[in-house]
Structure 1
Amino acid sequence: MLRSWPFVILSNPIIASILNIGGLWILYTTGLYGLMQQNILLHALVHVHVFIAGYLFTASMIYMDPTSHQFSFMFRAIVFAISLAGHDILSKYIYAHPPSGVIKAQAENGGMLMYYAGDAIDLLLICILCHQWFRATRPRESLVQLQE
């Protein structure tokens, strides 16, 4: 299943970022947020999408398991940086322009939570990505010993 073409497409960092960050933009900048509050099935579907998209995004940025279609660290870092910007811009947008039906004070608190909590999670993901990058590019001890 992990080698199937749908999974290869969905696990591309660009596609995963669009599903994750783009889904949040659609949720908070359209009438979807208000509709979600009125329909329990839609509410559940949105939460499932947010969970799966976030998981897929994380899995496409940092590889914990071997995968047959890995992207370079540089490519993932660039896509990650763009995604972080999209997330931070959205949190500031929510702070200034609450979704329909949301009280301004609640939107401000939600925007700040999204911004600062997102940064904490992003920092953790950045550390893991950089650690993996470092481990993949450092010279192996056995090679260093052979060269001496």
Structure 2
Amino acid sequence: MNLRSSLACTSSDIARWGLRSVLKRQGGVLPGRIAMKIDPELLSDLAGLVDRSVVITGTNGKTTTSNLIADAVAASSATVVCNRAGNNMEPGVVGALLEARSGLKRAGGGKRVGVFECDELYTVRVLPKLKPTYFVLLNLFRDQL
């Protein structure tokens, strides 16, 4: 990671701490959004933290399917990072990776898997940067095209 990425990660950590400690909020999207303002290509850097990744998209069922897949992968003793709260746009995926990065680094020799739900419109931004191993397309309704 370069200086810009490190600054983005630190800014994200500070924002997450403030949101959770002071404002008592979850802080799923804002830390990722702040980090991406500082380093727009941060997702490409963070993608290297996982050995494999799965991206789930579709009109309905993204959260349920991604949580089921994450639970199944975790049962195989892999370290899993997942945007379980449904933060399914690019800042939410970045936020999930930023929050889990210390645990992923400690996993060292174990399997590290990312399971991310992604909004249909944001797949064009997320997929090229994340380069997932698997892509699950659930369903698309006409109003989402």
Write 1 or 2 for the structure with the bigger share of strand: 2
Query: TM-score scaled to structure 2, two decimals?
Result: 0.27
Q: Which has the higher contact order (CA 8 A, sep 6+)?
A: 2
Say which one has the larger Rg. Answer: 1
